[in-house]
Amino acid sequence: MKRILVDMDGVLADVYSQFLKLEADETGVLRNRDETNGKLESEAFPFYEKHVRSKGFFRTVPVMKGSVEGLEYLNGKYEIIILSSATEFPQSLSEKELWLNEYYPFIDWTQMVFCGRKDVVSGDIMIDDHPKNLNFFPGEKIIFTQPHNIRLIVPNCKRASDWDEIVKML
């Protein structure tokens, strides 16, 4: 059975919605997601550092549309490992696991990896929104469209705009 490495932020967790909401709470202005196209989250959101390090950010992030049904389908067909860059933010670790347990209860604790760099983890297929993770990966690669990567072409990489497209590909 092939192993898929599935990213969290920007693939399962809709972090853009969370950043936009928290920014609107500060400024009173809810920006359109398209305004952030082509920029990394840290460039697009002036309060990025404050918000990403705040208690509850990862525990309350919205679920990406279609990801629960999509991941549950793939979980029967492939060996699924949730692979999240998380150790940059120590408080995020427990929040991320509790969030997974709440929304994806079919994923058990043996299927989770929280790390600082993804190239130490092996798999056959990687689904991620960041080219920095996909570039080194030797297997099949799927970039999940998010505003920061919307204008990029990643070599040897399929692109999925949403979870329906992922399910059709796999």
Active-site residues, by number, are 7, 9
Residue from 27, 42, 60, 87 in contact with a second copy (CB under 8 A): 87
Q: Do 80 and 41 meet the contact criterion of CB atoms below 8 Å apart? A: no
- Look at the block and give the residue holding tokens 């299927």: 111
CA-based torsion, 29, 93, 116, 10: positive or negative: negative
CA distance 107 to 66: 16
Least distance from C-beta 125 to a second copy, angstroms?
13
Q: For a second copy, which residue of 91, 131, 145, 165 counts as binding (CB under 8 A)?
A: 91
Q: DSSP 3-state assignment of 140?
A: strand
For the record, the structure tokens of 25 come out as 């709470």
CB atoms within 10 A of CB 115: 13
Give min distance, CB of 3 to a second copy, in A. 7
Site mask for a second copy (CB under 8 A), range 111-150, x = bound: xxxxxxx--xxxx---------------------------
Q: Is 72 or 79 the residue whose CB approaches a second copy more closely?
A: 79
Least gap, CB of 42 to a second copy (angstroms): 16
Rounded distance between C-alpha atoms, residue 115 and residue 156, angstroms: 24
94 is a site residue for a second copy (CB under 8 A)? yes
Q: Which residue has the tokens 């059709």?
A: 168
| SS3 of residue 160 by DSSP | strand
Residue 48 or 114 with smaller CB distance to a second copy: 114
Of the ranges 28-36, 88-96, 128-136, 144-152, which one interacts with a second copy (CB under 8 A)?
Answer: 88-96
Q: Give the one residue of 108, 136, 150, 164 binding a second copy; rule: CB under 8 A.
A: 108
Minimum distance between the CB of residue 138 and a second copy, rounded to whole angstroms? 11
Q: Which burial class, exposed, middle or buried, applies to 21 when counting CB atoms under 10 A from its CB (0-12, 13-18, 19+)? A: middle
- Interface residue list for a second copy (CB under 8 A): 3, 81, 87-88, 90-98, 101, 108-117, 120-123
